[in-house]
Amino acid sequence: MDRVVLGGSDGAIEGLAMTTALNGAGLGFGTIAVAGLAFALAGALSMFFSNYLSRKSELESLRIDMTREKMEIETEPEEEKREMEDLLKKDGYHEQEVKVIMQRLSKNKDLWLKEMLRRELQLNIEDIESDQYTRPIAAGIAFFLLSLMAVSPYAFSIPRVDALSASVTLSLGALFVLGSRVFIPRNFRLKAGLESALVGAAAGGLLFVIGLLVSRL
């Protein structure tokens, strides 16, 4: 979900900034639509590859950490046991509870490794074993769709100011939804949504003014 929010937010902001700049420069709707589609495709590919490389590097680092912890459990069990006990106590477990947990972990080294990674390094084995393509693809698609949202009003024969208003409204609405995570009620953050929309408005306004200035050169 984080990759979708990141890709979508980038697409909405950059798509809005580009279209407002071209609108301010007085370019025709056909030119804005074609340029917007090309921008959306290029941005989506860039978002995919940058996220893919980042995810690949992240997974390699996680696997190194997992291999090291697994080796330490095998070669230095007593030291790792003391570390695990300390971590459990920091999490609020009492002495007797720690003893019971360690008895179980000592019999199941896979579970021990999983708990060690989670408590000591804040890593989940599920993340390490996840597909390295899914998140980059999601980020790329989100960028493409949200950047197209800013371009879509220019596909219709409507007054320039109406196209600009529709593009701004759609983009800022999308930025608020993504920033606030209103689609996940328990994670709803009104301030974050408003800040995201404000950043988009500032970017769009600034590029529109730049477009106006360029058109008068």
Between CA 167 and CA 152 the distance in angstroms is 7
Residue that is last in its domain, among 128, 158, 184: 128
Query: Can you tell me the distance from the alpha carbon of 188 to that of 178, in angstroms, rounded to the nearest whole number?
Result: 10
User: What would the DSSP string read from start to end of 183-204?
Assistant: TSGGG--HHHHHHHHHHHHHHH
Q: Is the same domain home to 76 and 51? A: no
The count of domains in the chain is 2
- Residues in Cβ contact with 125 at an 8 Å cutoff, skipping those fewer than 6 apart: 66, 113, 114, 117
Q: Which of 101, 128, 155 is the last residue of a domain?
A: 128
- For residues 139 and 206, membership in a common domain is answered with yes
Domain boundary among 128, 145, 161: 128
For residues 140 and 186, membership in a common domain is answered with yes
180 and 77 within one domain: no
* Cα–Cα distances in angstroms (integers) from residue 181 to residues 99, 143, 175, 200, in the given order: 41, 16, 10, 16
> What pLDDT, on the 0 to 100 scale, is given for residue 135?
84
Do 11 and 27 fall into the same domain? Answer: yes
Taking only the tens place, the pLDDT of each residue in 171-208 is 999 999 888 887 777 778 888 889 988 998 998 889 88
pLDDT, tens digit (0-9, with 9 covering 90-100), for 141-175: 999 999 999 999 999 989 989 999 999 999 999 99
The domain in which residue 165 lies consists of: 2-57+132-215
Question: Cα–Cα distances in Å, from 20 out to 17, 49, 105, 148, 153?
Answer: 5, 27, 59, 13, 12
The verdict on pTM exceeding 0.85 is no
Q: What is the pLDDT of residues 88-134, one digit of tens each?
A: 888 888 888 888 888 888 888 888 888 888 887 777 766 666 677 88
- Among the listed residues 167, 158, 152, 153, the one whose alpha carbon sits nearest the alpha carbon of residue 204: 167
Residues 50 and 136 reside in one and the same domain: yes
